[in-house]
Amino acid sequence: GKKLGYTFNNRNFHNVSLGQGQEVVAEQALDVAAKEGHWVILQNIHLVAKWLSSLEKKLEQHSEDSHQDFRVFISAEPAPSPESHIIPQGILENSIKITNEAPTGMHANLHKALDNFNQDTLEMCTRENEFKSILFALCYFHAVVAERRKFGPQGWNRSYPFNTGDLTISVNVLYNYLEASSKVPYDDLRYLFGEIMYGGHITDDWDRRLCKTYLEEFIKPEMLEGELFLAPGFPLPGNMDYNGYHQYIDDALPPESPYLYGLHPNAEIGFLTQTSEKLFRVVLEMQPRDSSTGEGGVVTREETVKSLLEEMLEKLVDEFNIAELMAKVEDRTPYVVVAFQECERMNILTSEIKRSLRELDLGLKGELTMTSDMENLQNALFLDTVPESWIKKAYPSTASLGTWFADLLNRIKELEAWTGDFSLPSAVWLGGFFNPQSFLTAIMQSAARKNKWPLDKMTLQCDVTKKNREDFASPPREGAYVHGLFMEGARWDTQAGIITDARLKELTPAMPVIFIKAIPADKQDCRSMYPCPVYKTRQRGPTYVWTFNLKTKENPSKWVLAGVALLLQV
């Protein structure tokens, strides 16, 4: 049996890395080891899903009569999703489990980043002062970008696989550049770190801006003058030895909070709320699905679904008659075209809702055989979630079904009012569109027609008014008043007309009405402006709509790091 393994400290080991047909070797090793009292190490068992049940049986068999020194160590990569959990329950229940978790919090992440280096690294560069300062700033940057993920879409629009290789290669690049040039090439370094080493992972333009902004704040000439703060209350340390830096982190880094990332404390409330909502949703979905008759007057699952279904069908009005509406209009302005497109999209959605609800109704009455689609619809109605077939034909939304349906009826009402006489509403609900971009583009198209401007040389100007939608009786002569936007990450100071710090626990304060009009791009004032992304929902990312320039007294980089955005629904 010894030829299978090796001896270490008088103990015999059998080390088998699975994959490529190593299962037979593993089984032989287990048989020998169980008899002789050896240890077996099985690596990468996630690669042999089909063999795991045989492994379970084999371990069960040897648990009876094996040598008392026999031990088995098993390792596997973490599963990317719950569906990929393939290790049999029997193995999990009978084993002692150890996981290697990534560190959490800035404190652990910053220590871990610094652990990639040692005293020799710090002494290797002739430009010691500059090298050490930028190395420490890079460690902080690395820890921030890795840990910012926990704040969800307000942290990063998408999640990226930043890894220690990014940090160690960046430090090598830093060393080479400092050795080769007489002045510190700050711009080149930031470009290499932000666009190539770390930026190479990034696929979203707003995330790229965020990454770039961190580097602009952390790596700049002021860092050598002792005036640079990596976070509020955490100055960049001076020249120290390796252990000194670890000690400095313990002594000087403030306690964990969103401030360490440039975020507002509300970011944590939002992320914790969403985590707990997700947990409750999972608990709710795990409830038993017994549709037997309720005892003592308890409403059954089917009765709940049936009454909800009838109520929805009753509230849904007839579809828009597009042909009839077209006959009413003489001039097909850009706004009228948008109205037609919205009516068409709404018809597709409402007809799918009616079709699926009527079908389920017949299924519940026993007149049709229940299909899996009908089952899914019934479950969604019962659990107050928007059914899958409706989502496909609708607009992005994070709402529960009750809220979503009420919102749908509001959208229909808004369209009915607009198509009544096709005059632009005095204030337009931007979030009420399937495609808000088309409405914003229509503002530019009408101005281009009126003023004979080329469309590609135009941009939108956003003036935040001091009023709410009720205060407007008619639309502006040019452009449009839009309402129903919310700010996340900061708030709008209506009196001063600038972005300012959010108030604690006010996660998404409403914006006043915004006056949007088209202007030639070269007339645009970009000074003291924060280019603010507008998204349809808090999920951000793919729900991006437009960029509105908002006035700020403070440096716009502050709002970039705080993840400030406008949302069309909350």
Residue-level pLDDT at 348: 97
Inform me whether the pLDDT recorded for 536 exceeds 80.
yes
Give the pLDDT band (50/70/90) at residue 221: very high
Most confident range, picked from 1-5, 50-54, 165-169, 282-286? 165-169
Phi, psi of 11 (to 5 degrees): -115, 140
Residue-level pLDDT at 321: 93
Mean pLDDT computed over 531-552 = 96
pTM of the model: 0.84
- The neighbour count for residue 185, using CB atoms within 10 Å, is 14
For 458-510, write each residue's pLDDT tens digit: 999 999 999 999 999 999 999 999 999 999 999 999 999 999 999 999 999 99
For 294-305, write each residue's pLDDT tens digit: 455 566 888 889
Burial category of 155 from C-beta neighbours within 10 Å (exposed 0-12, middle 13-18, buried 19 and up): buried
User: Where along the chain do its domains lie?
Assistant: 2-94, 106-265, 299-423, 426-569
User: What would be the CATH architecture of the domain defined by 2-94?
Assistant: 3-Layer(aba) Sandwich (3.40)
CA nearest neighbour of 526 among 444, 440, 462, 446:
462
CA nearest neighbour of 387 among 363, 356, 418:
356
User: Kindly report the CA angle at 58 between 53 and 63, in degrees rounded to 5?
Assistant: 125
User: What would be the CATH architecture of the domain defined by 299-423?
Assistant: Up-down Bundle (1.20)
Measured in whole angstroms, the distance separating CA 148 from the mean position of its chain's CA atoms is 11
Superfamily of domain 106-265: Region D6 of dynein motor (1.10.8.720)
Q: What CATH class has 426-569?
A: alpha beta
In CATH terms, are 106-265 and 299-423 the same topology?
Answer: no
Q: What percent of the chain has pLDDT over 90?
A: 71
Give the C-alpha distances (Å, rounded to integers) separating 95 from 60, 98, 401, 501.
Answer: 12, 10, 43, 51
- Whole-number Å distance between alpha carbons of 456 and 247: 56
Residue-level pLDDT at 1: 35
Q: Which is more confidently placed, 205 or 282?
A: 205
Residue-level pLDDT at 283: 87
CB 189 within 8 A of CB 177: yes
For 404-417, write each residue's pLDDT tens digit: 999 999 999 999 99
Encoded amino acid at 330, one letter? E
- Does residue 287 sit in helix, strand or coil? coil
Output the six-digit token pair for 475.
């639309």
Mean pLDDT computed over 44-53 = 88
For 62-89, write each residue's pLDDT tens digit: 888 889 889 999 998 877 777 778 888 8
Burial category of 550 from C-beta neighbours within 10 Å (exposed 0-12, middle 13-18, buried 19 and up): buried
Residue-level pLDDT at 297: 56
